[in-house]
């Protein structure tokens, strides 16, 4: 896993050592090189830090969750602003509509992959899905932050 991160230019030894040191974690550069080469094992408690450092939790954890038929899902942290509930609902409807439109376009016979979705189209669909998920989390946060009002007589 570490070698794969290194090949993708997501793990630079000196940058990771410096990043850890900024968080009060002292790790020798040579030890990290040994982890990457597979000469010693990376401590499990460093995996979340590695995921944060690289920004790619799926590349860090997939090899552990796939064998047990699980999937890693990124849940973006929503932010609640001063959006009105109606505005959030309209934005959600638009995001869902964009996702549907792009799925239809990706499955069209005239698309680059024909009726099959290409890897580039799949990445585009995932971006639209991430937007929709983010907006759903915003809606949930907005609803959770407002006091619950009971109807009269209930």
| pLDDT score of 152 | 61
Cβ proximity of 42 and 2 under 8 Å: yes
> d(Cα 78, Cα 135) in Å, to the nearest integer?
7
Cβ proximity of 112 and 104 under 8 Å: no
> d(Cα 136, Cα 96) in Å, to the nearest integer?
10
Question: If you average pLDDT over residues 77-95, what whole number do you get?
Answer: 72
Q: What is the pLDDT of residues 36-74, one digit of tens each?
A: 888 888 889 999 999 999 988 888 888 888 899 887 765
- A 10 A CB-CB count for 114 gives 12
Record the pTM: 0.51
- CA separation, residue 123 to residues 58, 65, 119, 129 (Å): 15, 21, 6, 10
């Amino acid at each position: 896993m570490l070698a794969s991160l290194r090949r993708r230019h997501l793990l630079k030894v000196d940058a990771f050592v410096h990043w850890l040191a900024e968080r009060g974690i002292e790790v020798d550069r040579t030890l990290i090189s040994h982890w990457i080469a597979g000469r010693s094992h990376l401590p499990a408690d460093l995996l979340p830090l590695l995921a944060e450092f690289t920004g790619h939790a799926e590349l860090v954890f997939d090899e552990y969750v796939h064998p047990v038929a699980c999937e890693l899902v990124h849940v973006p942290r929503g932010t609640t602003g001063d959006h009105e509930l109606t505005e959030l609902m309209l934005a959600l409807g638009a995001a869902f509509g964009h996702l549907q439109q792009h799925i239809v376009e990706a499955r069209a016979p005239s698309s680059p992959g024909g009726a099959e979705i290409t890897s580039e189209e799949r990445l585009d669909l995932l971006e639209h899905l991430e937007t929709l998920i983010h907006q759903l989390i915003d809606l949930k946060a907005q609803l959770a932050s407002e006091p619950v009002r009971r109807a009269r007589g209930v």
